Chains A and B, each alone.
Chain A
């Protein structure tokens, strides 16, 4: 699947991904309708399934609100590419199944509007506009297992035996 890149800078925080005034709801569609609105008011209207977010360092910093990756996922975004992620956002994305890729080169070279094809399983990111290919950092084995299990809740279910 390929999509158009939305480009943002460093330190995109969870307050701009989904402002706290919308946190009374947990409905993914409603959250998506306000995603990124404080720094890019047209994002919720323009974004299409398969589009990607490309940003700088420390993406998702700030609050632990899982509403942030939920809002991005429900927007139809197929992948968030950044040079680094804030740690709670990283965990939340893996846990709920929002594909994220850490890639310095892609973060620097992708421009707004580029057509991007990202393969989460191999870490290959193709820029169909420029013809460039970037390679994201691989996930550690146990994180890969978590992703393959379909997120943390599914893995916990599959493990069955509750650790006491």
Chain B
């Protein structure tokens, strides 16, 4: 029986000729990652094992959630990572100044490559599926044992196949596509499964859009998302990779629980209403929805093409009175690129603030926490109760174009001309 792309990567990492859905396997890992929230718990558990890390090159520690540290406790958590990295000579420990949002940073540094098997103690580790890698989020104890053994147990997932066709219209990005899909299949629609993207439409999605899409697979309950390795992937990794990598392909007779075709040309600007990511509406179904704060950034949409889209819409305009706008680049390199391209100037002149790279407000940590009754429109990934602050605040999720247009309008809207077919 044929295997899906994910199954083939898992089989290769388990040293097995083939695997099937539901099988429990032990797979070797190419990278084990943790952050300043999850790694302190992992380090505590790891130290109970009394051993060294399996490979100093294959552990990554990225303090990104409550950094630059927001209070004494978070500073102490970062200090745990710093001490551990020194003690165990962890090569990929990223200090402030080098650190960015983990899921923007690791692909940028060439630490995740096509065909890899990666775990991270962060649910959005599924982001790296954009590169044709198997990557999934786990908890701290899994991270601890993976740091010791270099391998972890997995239940081989079945898959849903998403056949993408067509090309997205103007101002429509990967985020709109993914919110549409989550709205379609719901927040547990891919529970324990892989979301395997394929079809002619993949070629029209830049890497940053693929990262956005794979990033939110967890919001449909999925174990991972995965994209085929094509010219754009190769272009992305060729100057970043410092080791060989493998492009896997699904077998032609691979089994899928379901096949869903998505015509990208029909996707409209999409917004998730409180308090679940599957509570989606397209922009033409949205009435007057005023907002207090707009957040543009995060592991979902903090990459350069996201910032370019937002800046292009805000350039020469002013943020609506009463709206606060926070822009957060994903990494120092993205920050620098935004500076060189004049995007920071666009944002600041429009009345937005431009932050350092941090997860910050996405999880109600710092740099833009919401008060009771406030409503935020955000390019982040979750709109659960209390996610960005007070339990009685509200979060609406969208892509960077909708966020920028809404910042100017003061209410949820899409940029003019959305959906138009762009000239080649």
Chain A positions near chain B (C-beta within 8 angstroms): 11, 13, 15-16, 19-21, 23-26, 38-39, 57-58, 61-67, 69-70, 84, 86-88, 91-92, 95-96, 140, 142-143, 146, 151-153, 156-157, 162-164
In the complex, which of the residues B40, B122, B149, B391 contacts A64, with contact meaning CB atoms closer than 8 Å?
Answer: B122
* Alpha-carbon gap, A142 to B22, bound state (A): 12
List the B side residues contacting A64 at CB < 8 Å.
Answer: 38, 121-123, 125, 137-139
* Alpha-carbon gap, A57 to B278, bound state (A): 15
Q: How far is the CB of A82 from chain B (nearest CB, A)?
A: 11
- 0/1 string, B104-141, CB within 8 A of A gives 1: 00000000000000000111010000000000011111
> Could you jot down 29 A-B contacts, CB within 8 Å?
A11-B276, A15-B363, A15-B382, A15-B386, A16-B385, A19-B364, A19-B391, A24-B66, A26-B41, A26-B44, A38-B385, A58-B187, A63-B363, A64-B123, A65-B38, A66-B140, A86-B188, A88-B123, A91-B138, A92-B138, A95-B142, A96-B141, A142-B24, A152-B142, A153-B48, A156-B145, A162-B148, A162-B149, A163-B26
Within 8 A of A (CB), among B255-299: 276
* Alpha-carbon gap, A114 to B369, bound state (A): 38
Given contacts A23-B65, A58-B187, 7 further A-B contacts (CB under 8 A): A13-B384, A15-B385, A15-B386, A19-B364, A24-B77, A61-B187, A152-B142
* Alpha-carbon gap, A63 to B382, bound state (A): 9
Within 8 A of A (CB), among B386-409: 386-387, 391
If A38-B391, A66-B41, A156-B149 touch, whether A15 touches B384 (CB-CB below 8 Å) is yes
Q: Is B151 an interface residue (CB 8 A)?
A: yes
Q: Which residue of B lies closest to A22 (CB)?
A: B73
Q: How far is the CB of A24 from chain B (nearest CB, A)?
A: 4
Q: Is B192 an interface residue (CB 8 A)?
A: yes
In the complex, which of the residues A86, A95, A163 contacts B151, with contact meaning CB atoms closer than 8 Å?
Answer: A163
In the complex, which of the residues A15, A25, A63, A142 contacts B73, with contact meaning CB atoms closer than 8 Å?
Answer: A25
B221 contacts A87, C-beta separation under 8 Å: yes
Q: Which residue of B lies closest to A96 (CB)?
A: B141
If A24-B66, A64-B38, A156-B149 touch, whether A95 touches B44 (CB-CB below 8 Å) is no
If A13-B384, A16-B386, A84-B191 touch, whether A66 touches B49 (CB-CB below 8 Å) is no
**The 6 nearest A-B residue pairs measured at CB:** A24-B73, A92-B139, A58-B188, A20-B363, A66-B139, A95-B141
List the A side residues contacting B65 at CB < 8 Å.
Answer: 23
A21 contacts B37, C-beta separation under 8 Å: no
- 0/1 string, B189-228, CB within 8 A of A gives 1: 0011000000000000000000000000010010100000
Q: How far is the CB of A13 from chain B (nearest CB, A)?
A: 5
Q: Which residue of B lies closest to A37 (CB)?
A: B391
* Alpha-carbon gap, A100 to B71, bound state (A): 34
* Alpha-carbon gap, A86 to B218, bound state (A): 9
If A23-B37, A26-B40, A62-B384 touch, whether A88 touches B138 (CB-CB below 8 Å) is yes
Q: Which residue of B lies closest to A85 (CB)?
A: B191
List the A side residues contacting B54 at CB < 8 Å.
Answer: 162, 164
Q: Is B74 an interface residue (CB 8 A)?
A: yes
If A64-B139, A86-B221, A88-B137 touch, whether A20 touches B149 (CB-CB below 8 Å) is no
- 0/1 string, B25-65, CB within 8 A of A gives 1: 01010000000011011001100110100100000000001
A67 contacts B48, C-beta separation under 8 Å: no
A62 contacts B123, C-beta separation under 8 Å: yes
A163 contacts B188, C-beta separation under 8 Å: no
Q: How far is the CB of A104 from chain B (nearest CB, A)?
A: 14
* Alpha-carbon gap, A162 to B145, bound state (A): 10
B142 contacts A140, C-beta separation under 8 Å: no
Q: How far is the CB of B354 from chain A (nearest CB, A)?
A: 23
List the A side residues contacting B155 at CB < 8 Å.
Answer: 140
